[in-house]
Amino acid sequence: MPDPAATRQTQRRDFVVVSTTQFFLAFALNFMLVFLPFYVHRISTLEEDATLRWLGLIMGAAPAAATFGSAFWGGLTDRFGPKGLFERGMLSHAVLVTLMAFTTDLRLLFAIRVVQGFFGGISTIGLIIVAASSSEDELAPRMGVYQSALTLGQIFAPPLGAVAAAAFGFRGAFLTSGAMLFVVCLCCHFALSRIPPRPKPTTVAAIPRRQIWLAWLVSLVGTMHIIFLPSVLPTILRGFAIPESRGLVTAGSIVFGYGIASVAGSYGFSRLAGRFSVARLVVATALGASICQVLLYFGANIVTFTLIRMVQTGCAAGIFPLILAQLATRSGGKTIGFINTSRFAGNALGPVAATFILAHADLFTLYLVLGVGLALASLGHHLGSRARPERLA
């Protein structure tokens, strides 16, 4: 009979290992977020409008494929051990990022990003490992720590990636990211214990269908607000007359600034949910993000632009956790998993929509479309949340 104390110690170690691994995995994969648009402009032989369209496709390919990959990897854990799947996913990422360092064709780069995005669904396996390593009382706080590790990796990676690209060149930055993934995979292999396949869920959710779709929509557009900017930063920085030699570092600083604001907004607005109506908080955060989105056009210089962007991102980042808080008490894991796909879809559509709009219009039109879209989605969600609950099969 296994020793309960030894089992708890092993589970605690597995939790620490998978959370640390997820931090470095998110760090390595977001390392290229800022310099990838500059790299696309560097290797492109097309005109500006065509380059922008390809840039949107390349930036959005990975999160679009992750929308399907997440469900695929989660389903595999019913038959195979999560540890082996987690390691294979990381190893695949390491190989693909290394290949990107030697890719100078936009079509091939796009194909690599599609495959990379499909393997990006391994973050779902990380969540399953955390669940398998936690008791019922430990699950909620440990999920919070896991998500925080992922977010911190996403925040700190882009500015450091920009610095690495400026110092070592694009190829050196890609190879650095690939090397990190190889090392993390190796450490995970030796430190993480074997975990049995996950049992199939049996929960049946009860929640209004209309509210599910409206919640998905407002989460989608809110995510687009957060993720769209890096794909058009080269154009924005040229408008502020930022020298090309300072472009990468400036872009990294902007992304880092609103990344910190995103964490603050997500945490801060979630804390307010105990004092105010969650439905009203969703509307407030969405309208705040929408107004600031339009105000970006009136930023007089790079400092005011960045400050407005930080406020806008802080508001937008509060939407998704509030949506989950509104639905969690009346829904099961299947419904929450479906709502979570809105983030992957938003990550895909954000850069695609931004670059396509900018290729055919101007920045004000881009900001206006995103701002009005989120405002309408949030108001529709607020009205739709009053629908009478119905039973879902």
Please state, in angstroms and rounded to a whole number, the distance separating the CA atoms of residues 59 and 53. 10
**One-letter identity of residue 114:** V
Residue 76 has pLDDT above 80, yes or no: no
Intrachain domains 1-200 and 203-387 with the same fold:
yes
Q: Which pLDDT score, from 0 to 100, does residue 251 have?
A: 85
Q: Is 223 helix (H, G, I), strand (E, B) or coil?
A: helix
User: What is the model's pLDDT at position 235?
Assistant: 86
Task: State the average pLDDT over residues 315-320.
Answer: 86
**Residue 190 CB coordination number (10 Å):** 7
Give DSSP secondary structure letters for 316-361.
Answer: HHTHHHHHHHHHGGG--HHHHHHHHHHHHHHHHHHHHHHHHHHHHS
Query: Which class does domain 1-200 fall in?
Result: mainly alpha
Give the whole-angstrom CA distance, residue 32 versus residue 115.
16
Within the chain, residue ranges assigned H as helices are 4-30, 35-43, 48-76, 82-100, 106-119, 123-132, 136-191, 209-227, 233-239, 244-272, 278-295, 302-317, 319-327, 333-360, 363-384
Task: Give CA–CA dist 312/285, Å, rounded.
Answer: 9
DSSP three-state, residue 166: helix
pLDDT bucket at 95, cuts 50 / 70 / 90: very high
This prediction has a pTM of 0.66
The 8-class DSSP code of residue 196 comes to P
The confidence score (pLDDT) of residue 53 equals 86
Mean pLDDT for the chain?
A: 81
Angstrom distance (rounded) from CA 146 to CA 22: 8
More confident residue, 173 or 393: 173
Q: Would you state the pLDDT for residue 275? A: 76
Instruction: Give the mean model confidence (pLDDT) for residues 104-110.
Output: 91
The residue among 183, 166, 139 whose CA lies nearest residue 27 is: 183
Using CB atoms within 10 A of its CB, is residue 78 exposed (0-12), middle (13-18) or buried (19+)? exposed
Q: What's CA 158's distance to the chain center, in Å?
A: 13
Rounded Cα gap, residues 117 and 81, in angstroms: 21
CA distances in angstroms from 5 to 2, 129, 136, 145, listed in the order given: 9, 19, 17, 22
CA distance 220 to 229: 15
**CATH code linked to domain 203-387:** 1.20.1250.20
Alpha-carbon distance values, 365 to 51, 311, 372 (Å): 19, 20, 10
| Res. 46 pLDDT band, cuts 50 70 90 | confident
Where do the structural domains in the chain lie, given as residue ranges?
1-200, 203-387
Q: pLDDT tens digit string along 213-245?
A: 898 899 899 989 988 888 888 888 888 888 877
Residue 389 pLDDT > 90: no
